[in-house]
Amino acid sequence: MSQTLTTPEGWKTGLEELAPKVFAYTQAYGELGVSNAGLLVDREGSMAVDALMVPSMTRSFLASIRKVTKRPVTRLVNTHHHIDHSGGNFLFRQAEIVSHSRAREGIVRTGLPVEFLQSAMPRFADEYAKIKPRAPHVTFEDRMVFHQSGREVELIHLGPAHTFGDAMVYLPKEKILFAGDIAFHYVTPMAFQGHVGNWIKVADRILKMEVDVIIPGHGPVGGKKELREMRRYLAYIRREARKRFDEGMTAKEAARAIKLGIYASWREAERILPNIARLYQEFKNEIDQPLDSQEVFAGMREMRDFFDSHHPPHTCCL
């Protein structure tokens, strides 16, 4: 069946109130290193969801927070360990930091790989040395509940997806979900440290939840429509990767052969290469063996050059 997607022309960087005292902070345009955050304003102190990456981003987020509340941020939730969501932790000086236990392990283990970051994301190179890694103080496994000014706030882990330590922040009364990188809207999802098969199952579980608004880790605020589109992408590349795996293709050969069709318009389509590489590990039951990060980003640069020279715009029936 032919399918079309409507991709927004762009979205703005800034704070948006989604419900009384509930805000999303989005960054345009959601590419590598440019993530979203959130804010819940409380009587005694506020809760932030994610801390962004480099100090300039985090300070802009904090400046936006000060425009809507004078209360300090006393709790910060990291949705996972990646630096684009946790690099700014150290600037939330009064906050207790909360994450899934695997996310804390990732932050402690990874530290601040400055040379790698300068190579992978050179546009932010001048700021990496200013980051002071700060790990969460409190961790949970499957579910944790906070009560803030009469509002119930649930932290939920549904198993491996984008990473093995993903946490979502769910407001059941408002039907709002801060999904972290479990949701990418109009930006290609990336699974090089996750599990695509289980990510699809996690998306299915979210689609059954009482949720009207979803704040993704990257991309504009949306809802279940956008999550379904991301799920279709994951299911499509998994299906196509399996065919090529069974045919004996390498991950690079498979990534170059798969026609992205409607998904070619999503930002950073070259992420298909690490996604396929991770799927190959899944098919071989080697998911516990991490991909080499240097090779992942070098491969993405090579894949981007391949797309530029070999993939004119096309359509495909998915």
Q: Is it true that the peptide bond before 29 is cis, omega within 30 degrees of 0? A: yes
pTM (predicted TM-score): 0.94
**For residue 233, what pLDDT is reported?**
98
Q: What is the pLDDT of residue 314?
A: 40
Residue 23: enclosing H or E segment and its boundaries?
strand 22-26
The pLDDT tens digits for 221-261 are 999 999 999 999 999 999 999 999 999 999 999 999 999 99
Is the Cβ–Cβ distance between 164 and 123 less than 8 Å? no
Bridge partner residues of 93 (DSSP): none
DSSP code for 33: T
Provide the pLDDT for residue 2.
34
CATH architecture, domain defined by 14-226: 4-Layer Sandwich (3.60)
Rounded-to-integer distance, Cα 190 and Cα 153, Å: 27
pLDDT means over runs of 10, the chain (318 residues):
50 94 96 97 93 98 97 97 98 97 97 94 96 97 91 97 98 98 98 97 98 98 98 98 98 97 95 98 96 93 91 42
Helices (H) then strands (E): counts for the chain? 10, 12
pLDDT given for residue 309 in this prediction = 85
Give me the residue spans of the domains in the chain. Answer: 14-226
